[in-house]
Amino acid sequence: MGNVVVVGAQWGDEGKGKIVDWLSERADVVARFQGGHNAGHTLVIDGEVYKLHALPSGIVRGGKLSVIGNGVVLDPWHLIEEIATVRAQGVAVTPETLMIAENTPLILPFHGELDRARENQNSVARIGTTGRGIGPCYEDKVGRRVIRVADLADNATLELRVDRALVHHNALRAGLGLDAIDRDDLLNRLRAIAPEILQYAAPVWKVLNDRRRAGQRILFEGAQGALLDIDFGTYPFVTSSNVIAGQAATGTGIGPGGIDFVLGIVKAYTTRVGEGPFPTELHDADGQRLGERGHEFGTTTGRKRRCGWFDACLLRQTCATSGVTGIALTKLDVLDGFDELKICVAYDLDGERLDYLPTAADRQARVRPIYETVKGWNESTAGARSWADLPAEAIKYVRRIEELIDCPVALLSTSPERDDTILVTDPFSA
């Protein structure tokens, strides 16, 4: 039995929630390994819509263990609110169904305040963050001043950690014109939330390794997309963590040998939220049509997503950096009715043809897409559950994508409903 890592292979919003939910039926454990509640996953199950941000997608499936790994940064107050929301929808959340790694860093109120203050005062180049404190919390983790879940269990340790963090943050806040942090209020809030969080705390690295040795299947769930990776994304317009598949190992403590299949989630076109380069972005009627038909608004922020044609260059890149074994192609039905479709097959940079997106920001800004035009289809692909249900031109489009990115399609999604999925290769059995 294999363990599967699911990563977004574009700029996020590829439909990971549905695919993870679909795969979780075959898994025993579902583990989040990076990011925070800045990412949103929407699941539609039997007509019920679940919007998850911090909780792993497997939480809505009975009989599964959901895990928040140490690679995640966790807002404890948001988590408790989210747990209450899904419980109201009939989902059981208990220490038997949810575990949080003891070494998970906590997002505190001043992280969000700092995030928003920086973004509001940045006159040079806005990053387009969600303002939820993700970046500042990761900074504190690297700066060795973050408060972790285990610290909530001992008051002396908690006070020491808070004091260390405040030395740094109060100096920053003074420079930004913000009031100093109220130490006693922060400690009281942390002491109040501690029992609610600590009931889920566990040595996740040990639990996962024990489960693996027992032959259980583990599904590792990523947030955002590989093009937002802090190292391999379109820097500085990226998230604050590593998003690519290698992070599944360090973000949970399973070790790289515990990964058997990497599934890259890929939208049949391209979208992006926030600032940053986007070579195939459309500012015309086609872009508007993609956005309207695909309901392209962020789960977390509600922000309208930028839309463009499929970019095979970027996909080749992310398939390489994440070691993608196969892709899950989503939202194919959004392309129904287009007379023709375009696929970016290369870039033009000042007359030079490139088959990858360069690293330097000035070069990224100057690249122009080189398109290949393919015939569209008028028949509907919505709800298709086998290749026989797809129009011939739709199959040709999928096969051409496989050729261009040098990676096979393992799954094909044709609507938000979990059962509207064509299985080519079962990642757990490959």
Catalytic residue IDs: 13, 41
Where are the extended beta strands (E) located within 179-248? Answer: 201-202, 218-221
- The pair of structure tokens assigned to 375 is 């015939």
* Residue 244 Cα distances to 144, 221, 222, 317, angstroms: 23, 11, 8, 11
Q: Decide if 17 contacts 42 (C-beta within 8 A).
A: yes
The rounded distance, in Å, linking the Cα atoms of 234 and 256 is 25
Question: Quick one: which of 237, 213, 210 has its CA closest to 225?
Answer: 237
The rounded distance, in Å, linking the Cα atoms of 70 and 94 is 19
- The pair of structure tokens assigned to 427 is 């990642």
Q: Decide if 248 contacts 5 (C-beta within 8 A).
A: yes
- Both ends of the chain: CA-CA distance in Å? 9
Q: Decide if 247 contacts 34 (C-beta within 8 A).
A: yes
Phi, psi for residue 330 in degrees, rounded to 5: -115, 165
- The pair of structure tokens assigned to 140 is 């504190």
CB-based contacts of 360: which residues, under 8 Å, 6+ apart? none
